[in-house]
Structure formats: C-alpha cells, structure tokens
Structure 1
C-alpha cells in the first residue's frame, strides 16, 4: 500500500473566481525577503535558479561584501549570457493569513534590467513542494 507523505493539492473554480478569462498574465506574487515586503516577484517554473535583481538587493541595504562569488553564467530571457554578481542566502516568508512557509532561499544577484524584483524558480518551488497554476494565477504549498 502506498504511503502519501504530502497532502494532495488542487485548484477549484472558486480559486479563479476573481479572474477574467481568458488571460495570459504571469504569476506574480509578493513575498517577504529578509523582513522586506517584496512586490513583483515572478514565479517561474522554468527558471533553474532563484534570482534577486540588484536594485532590490540595494533597497534591502545588504552589503555587497555578503555576496558569495560565482562565475558561472546563465541564459537570460533574451538568450544572452548573464553573469551574477554573486549568490546570497536570505530568509524568505510567504503567507496568506494563518498559512505560512519560511525557508532560506539562495538567490543569484544580477545587475540586469527587469520589471521584477526577484524570480522564484524551480529550486525554491521544489523545496517548498509548491504547485502552481497559470490558469488560477496561484501558488499552493502545504503548511503545518
């Protein structure tokens, strides 16, 4: 008999009640990064890294010396090579009233122009065992 460690996560019609369909909007959320309420965070299942853009990094008043050097480039949205200024692990909290998840997330900090302050990619989504729905513009994960 199979043992299920995780609850089944699903989406309902009620989850999409406030949306106008059809839509092609991106899944963008607000999260707490190091005690800063960070808006315009893109949830991107296709990203292999978690990214914090340098302008948001600066607004959090984090010393650049805290960055751990990295020299591996990755491919940006336009297909160009992007080099990170470094990596940093920060405490991230996502909550909706009584439901909350708080974990350390390692971001690559990039000095690159973007409409977003950060990108949550598959490393964090997998760590959180999160499930996303582009149709519902929603992310769900289990909490205690």
Structure 2
C-alpha cells in the first residue's frame, strides 16, 4: 500500500467504506494535499461516537504474492 509493506489488516466485509486511521496515513508518508475533501455525513463508531473524516485518498493495494498477486485501486476515508 503506497509502496509500503503492510503485514496485517482488518477486513470488515459488512462495512460500506474503507477506512485508514490518521496514524497509518502519516506512517505511509502521505501528504494532506493528497486528500480529496469529504462532504458526506460523519462516521459513527460501534460505541455511538462520531468523527468527521479528513477526506479520502485513492491508493493502489496489492494482495497476494507471485502468480496470485493482484493490484487494485481502493478509495480510503482518512
């Protein structure tokens, strides 16, 4: 993801959006200028708290290795 090896991710197949936390956004050394403004509703967590996303970013994510490798563009909320 963004030229970094990410060894562990959480996949929620029931989620309607793909989210990366601000800490990972900074670790990937992405700049805020890479963010597209988000104009949707606030996100609500399982505990009922809400948060306003910074924006979204498109990243190329590669799954698998060797012959089983596949790269796709994923739009993440940050």
TM-score normalised to the size of structure 1? 0.50
Q: CA deviation at 1:39?
A: 3.0
RMSD: 1.3
- Give the 3-state SS of the residue equivalent to 2:37 in structure 1: coil
Displacement over 4 Å in runs of 4+: none
Partner residue of 1:16?
Answer: none
Which residues in structure 2 correspond to 1:1-144 (within 5 Å)? 33-71=1-39, 72-109=41-78
* Bigger Rg over Cα: 1
Q: CA deviation at 1:94?
A: 0.5
- Give the 3-state SS of the residue equivalent to 2:10 in structure 1: strand
CA deviation vs aligned residue, 1:65-93 (integer Å, no higher than 9, x gap)? 11011132121132221211110001110
CA deviation vs aligned residue, 1:3-57 (integer Å, no higher than 9, x gap)? xxxxxxxxxxxxxxxxxxxxxxxxxxxxxx1111113310101211001111111
- Name the structure where strand makes up a greater proportion of residues: 1
Using the alignment, how far apart are the partners of 1:91 and 1:103 within structure 2? Answer: 6
User: Alignment length, in residue pairs?
Assistant: 77
- Structure 1: stretches of 5+ with no match in the other structure: 1-32, 110-144
TM-score normalised to the size of structure 2? 0.87
